[in-house]
């Protein structure tokens, strides 16, 4: 029974094994980045950046067709351009980061939709937006695993400056010149992981595997190491469950994975011990009991 | 007497509006100086200039052999994200940045110094607590512990005792006096005149321009305080281009 349910799809079909491999790579690479996005209150930045890489991927597609390399490079260039321009405007003018980022990603998104709609077909747009996790080839898998490795390694190297940049940026600026470098390194990691994610899940769904497990983990863990561990675990479990669900129920895989992560988030909101609804209700009960005593 | 820093016709401001105007004077090495003045007198701006985060519009600040790494700065409203999950000991340990940088690990000697700094500010037992669980006074104690580890020759404090209870103020002042005893230069923006009189040998009174600078008893006269208020009220009028020649 369990064999039929859980192992059979992966044992019998190579494309399912590849999909699983790709999703686990993305879980390991993107989710820790998502934890930092959440802690920096930049959860929506992930969404903005995902839209920003669209024109790059579209240009890559127009130049070289459904080419992994061209779409990756295109996406990276577009994403980095938006991140750098928004960061530049934020640092040299009075405009805040959210506003400047919104401005540039909207421009980028409009360019992307324009390119895709004038030159491509709707099928192509669907591919870029929703990915093809069941059609990952060897090159794509190598790319996803490489990006996950680079991402984890970079995060380990910049961990201390990054934590400080999040917790006390003013102090980091006063003791070192790392502040700007750290910020842009982090944004590069966001772009890199979104580009990895869009091959499997598409530009829109890629953000889901980055942010949803991180948001869910907030209800289970407090320390930053624990947050990352819990978030990666949730992302992996969501990947496996989502793929199995999509196999048995005949659903598209990308949305299935993200929806399972969404269910994990919903359960965490209700039952998570660190500030979940049930935990809060219990807390309130305690407080009332205390206030009654003289 | 050597100086730790010297203001040479220093004007600091935002856009073209000066917040500190044509300031001259020297802060002696090893001195303990309070900076006082009405709101909007440019006190915080002056510290930002000294710490290098605000570039002078005109004039300059000369440092008597101090490098930027030897200056520690505690801002008025620290933009610490207190919801960020960092333990007190980890926040304090960042005072060792000049020694360990962004990547090196903490040695046993470093950990011992972190523990010593935490106990010096009376936060024993809070080491593993997340910073979000601390009260305002406890956060200020933790930030002082971090300053202790920075081992700076010049310490800049911007209203360090605001919104802190009397016991905490007393404990933190003993830390300041310890720095003074170790020959470090301390500049502190303060509002409580009694604290200044009791603990700070020298005072610099600012009202955008220098009002007085010297031994505290000579600076904190009723006449000077009245003049400072008047000068600040005059500043509130419509701006005009400074007519004094540049040199």
Tell whether B197 and B99 lie within a shared domain: no
Q: Give the residue numbers spanning the domain of B194.
A: 1-66+154-165+178-247
Cβ of residue A157 closer than 8 Å to a chain B Cβ: yes
Task: Tell me what ipTM this predicted complex has.
Answer: 0.81
Tell whether B161 and B232 lie within a shared domain: yes
Distance separating alpha carbons of residues B30 and B147, to the nearest angstrom: 17
Tell whether B208 and B247 lie within a shared domain: yes
Give the helix ranges, DSSP H, for B73-135: 88-93, 97-100, 108-120
CA A62 distance to own-chain centroid: 26
Mean pLDDT, rounded, for B203-216: 91
Tell whether B147 and B160 lie within a shared domain: no
Cβ of residue B91 closer than 8 Å to a chain A Cβ: yes
Angstrom distances, CA of residue A119 to CA of A108, A115, A123, A277: 17, 6, 12, 49
Q: How confident is the model at residue A95 (pLDDT cuts 50, 70, 90)?
A: confident
**Dihedral (C-alpha) A183, A78, A98, A127: value to the nearest 10 degrees?**
-120
Task: List, in order, residues 6 or more apart from B217 with CB less than 8 Å away.
Answer: B197
Cβ of residue B130 closer than 8 Å to a chain A Cβ: yes
Q: Yes or no: say if A98 and A106 are a contact pair by the CB < 8 Å rule.
A: no
Tell whether B122 and B103 lie within a shared domain: yes
CA A237 distance to own-chain centroid: 15
Q: How confident is the model at residue B244 (pLDDT cuts 50, 70, 90)?
A: low
Mean pLDDT, rounded, for B33-48: 90
Angstrom distances, CA of residue A8 to CA of A3, A12, A132, B29, B116: 6, 6, 21, 76, 59
pLDDT reading at B185 higher than 90: yes
**Long-range CB contacts (< 8 A, 24+ apart) of A90-98?**
A91/A180, A98/A45
Domain total for chain B? 2
Angstrom distances, CA of residue A184 to CA of A79, A84, B120, B216: 12, 7, 37, 47
Angstrom distances, CA of residue A222 to CA of A233, A270, B136: 15, 17, 21
Contact A160 B91 (CB under 8 A): no
Q: How many CB atoms lie within 10 A of CB B175?
A: 20
Task: Compare A202 and A272 and report the one with higher pLDDT.
Answer: A272
Contact A166 B79 (CB under 8 A): no
Instruction: Return the residue matching tokens 């990666």.
Output: A232
Task: Compare B56 and A294 and report the one with higher pLDDT.
Answer: B56
pLDDT reading at A294 higher than 50: no
Residue numbers in B near A167 (CB within 8 A): 80-81, 84, 86, 91, 131
Asked if residue B172 is part of any domain, the answer here is no
Tell whether B23 and B140 lie within a shared domain: no
Per-chain mean pLDDT for chain B: 87
Q: Yes or no: say if A105 and A51 are a contact pair by the CB < 8 Å rule.
A: yes
Q: What is the CATH number of the domain that holds B231?
A: 3.40.50.300
What is the percent of chain A where pLDDT is above 70? 92
Tell whether B158 and B225 lie within a shared domain: yes
Q: What is the pLDDT of residue A60?
A: 82
Can you point out the beta strands (E) in chain B? 3-14, 17-28, 32-36, 58-63, 71-74, 154-158, 185-189, 202-207, 209-215
Mean pLDDT, rounded, for A91-104: 85
Q: What is the pLDDT of residue B237?
A: 59
Q: Yes or no: say if B124 and B101 are a contact pair by the CB < 8 Å rule.
A: no
Asked if residue B145 is part of any domain, the answer here is yes
pLDDT reading at A134 higher than 80: no
pLDDT reading at B175 higher than 90: yes
Q: How confident is the model at residue A125 (pLDDT cuts 50, 70, 90)?
A: low
Q: What is the pLDDT of residue A274?
A: 87
DSSP label of B106: P
Instruction: Return the residue matching tokens 């090495």.
Output: B29
Closest to A169 (Cβ–Cβ): which among B73, B79, B146? Answer: B79
Contact B80 A168 (CB under 8 A): yes
Residue of chain B nearest A225, judged by CA positions: B85
Distance separating alpha carbons of residues B111 and B137, to the nearest angstrom: 23
Tell whether B41 and B158 lie within a shared domain: yes
Residue numbers in B near A166 (CB within 8 A): 81, 84
What is the percent of chain A where pLDDT is above 90? 39
Tell whether B237 and B209 lie within a shared domain: yes
Q: What is the pLDDT of residue A123?
A: 64
Q: How many CB atoms lie within 10 A of CB B168?
A: 20
Rounded to the nearest angstrom, the minimum Cα separation between A157 and chain B is 7
pLDDT reading at B94 higher than 70: yes
Residue range A153-199, pLDDT digits in tens:
999 999 999 999 888 888 888 888 788 889 889 999 999 999 888 88
Rounded to the nearest angstrom, the minimum Cα separation between A9 and chain B is 40
Tell whether B44 and B131 lie within a shared domain: no
3-state secondary structure of B93: helix
Asked if residue B187 is part of any domain, the answer here is yes
Distance separating alpha carbons of residues B23 and B7, to the nearest angstrom: 6
pLDDT reading at B199 higher than 50: yes
Q: What is the pLDDT of residue B1?
A: 57
pLDDT reading at B107 higher than 90: no
Closest to A175 (Cβ–Cβ): which among B80, B81, B97? Answer: B97
Asked if residue B48 is part of any domain, the answer here is yes
Q: What is the pLDDT of residue A292?
A: 47
Mean pLDDT, rounded, for A275-290: 74
Return the structure tokens found at B97.
């940045």
pLDDT reading at A55 higher than 80: yes
Q: How confident is the model at residue B247 (pLDDT cuts 50, 70, 90)?
A: very low
Residue range B5-18, pLDDT digits in tens:
889 988 988 877 78
pLDDT reading at B36 higher than 90: yes
Mean pLDDT, rounded, for B185-190: 94
Residue range A103-120, pLDDT digits in tens:
998 998 888 888 877 766
Phi, psi of B62 (to 5 degrees): -100, 135
Tell whether B193 and B234 lie within a shared domain: yes
Phi, psi of B5 (to 5 degrees): -155, 155
Mean pLDDT, rounded, for A88-95: 83
Mean pLDDT, rounded, for A79-100: 86
Tell whether B144 and B221 lie within a shared domain: no
pLDDT reading at B119 higher than 80: yes
Q: What is the pLDDT of residue B18?
A: 80
- Going by C-alpha positions, the residue among A102, A81, A85 that lies closest to residue A93 is A85
Rounded to the nearest angstrom, the minimum Cα separation between B111 and chain A is 16
Q: How confident is the model at residue A293 (pLDDT cuts 50, 70, 90)?
A: very low
Residue of chain A nearest B73, judged by CA positions: A174
Angstrom distances, CA of residue B197 to CA of A116, B25, B200, B203: 72, 21, 6, 9
Distance separating alpha carbons of residues B234 and B228, to the nearest angstrom: 10
């Amino acid at each position: 029974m369990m064999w039929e349910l859980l192992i059979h799809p992966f044992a019998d079909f190579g494309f399912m094994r590849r999909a699983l491999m790709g999703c686990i790579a993305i879980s390991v690479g993107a989710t820790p980045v998502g934890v930092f996005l959440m802690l920096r209150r930049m959860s929506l930045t992930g969404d903005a950046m995902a839209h920003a890489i669209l024109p790059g991927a579209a240009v890559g597609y127009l130049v070289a067709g459904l080419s992994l390399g061209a779409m990756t490079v295109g996406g990276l260039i577009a994403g980095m351009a938006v991140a750098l321009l928004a960061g530049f405007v934020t640092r040299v003018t009075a405009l805040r980061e959210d506003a400047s980022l919104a401005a540039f990603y909207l421009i980028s998104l409009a360019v992307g939709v324009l390119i895709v709609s004038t030159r491509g077909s709707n099928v192509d747009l669907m591919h870029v937006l929703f990915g093809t996790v069941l059609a990952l080839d060897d090159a794509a898998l190598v790319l996803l695993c490489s990006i996950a490795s680079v991402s984890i390694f970079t995060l380990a190297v910049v961990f201390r400056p990054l934590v400080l940049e999040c917790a006390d940026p003013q102090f980091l600026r006063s003791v070192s010149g790392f502040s700007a470098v750290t910020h842009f390194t982090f944004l590069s990691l966001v772009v890199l992981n979104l580009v990895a994610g869009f091959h499997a899940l598409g530009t829109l769904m890629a953000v889901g595997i980055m942010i949803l497990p991180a948001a869910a983990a907030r209800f289970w863990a407090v320390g930053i190491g624990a947050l990352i561990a819990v978030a990666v675990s949730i992302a992996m479990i969501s990947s496996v469950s989502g793929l199995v669900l999509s196999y048995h129920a005949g659903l598209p895989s990308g949305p299935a994975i993200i929806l399972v992560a969404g269910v994990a988030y919903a359960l965490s909101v209700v039952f998570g011990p660190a500030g979940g609804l049930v935990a809060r209700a219990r807390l309130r009960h305690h407080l009332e009991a205390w206030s009654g005593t003289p | 007497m050597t100086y730790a820093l010297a203001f040479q016709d220093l004007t600091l401001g935002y856009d073209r509006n000066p917040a500190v105007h044509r300031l001259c004077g020297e802060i002696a090495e090893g001195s303990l100086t309070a900076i006082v003045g009405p709101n909007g007198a440019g006190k915080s701006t002056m510290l930002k200039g000294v710490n290098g985060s605000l570039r002078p519009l005109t004039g300059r600040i000369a440092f008597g052999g101090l490098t930027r790494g030897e200056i520690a700065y505690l801002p008025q409203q620290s933009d610490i994200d207190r919801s960020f999950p960092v333990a007190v000991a980890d926040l304090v340990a960042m005072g060792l940045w000049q020694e360990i940088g962004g990547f090196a690990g903490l040695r046993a000697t470093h950990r011992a110094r972190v523990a010593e700094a935490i106990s010096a500010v009376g936060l024993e037992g809070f080491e593993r607590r997340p910073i979000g669980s601390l009260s305002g006074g406890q956060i200020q104690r933790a930030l002082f512990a971090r300053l202790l580890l920075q081992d700076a020759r010049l310490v800049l404090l911007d209203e360090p005792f605001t919104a802190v209870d009397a016991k905490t103020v007393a404990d933190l002042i003993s830390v300041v006096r310890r720095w003074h005893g170790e020959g470090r230069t301390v500049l502190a923006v303060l509002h409580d005149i009694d604290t200044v009189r009791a603990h700070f040998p020298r005072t610099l009174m600012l009202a955008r321009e220098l009002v007085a600078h010297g031994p505290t008893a000579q600076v904190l006269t009723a006449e000077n305080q009245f003049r400072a208020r008047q000068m600040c009220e005059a500043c509130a009028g419509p701006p005009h281009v400074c007519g004094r020649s540049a040199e």
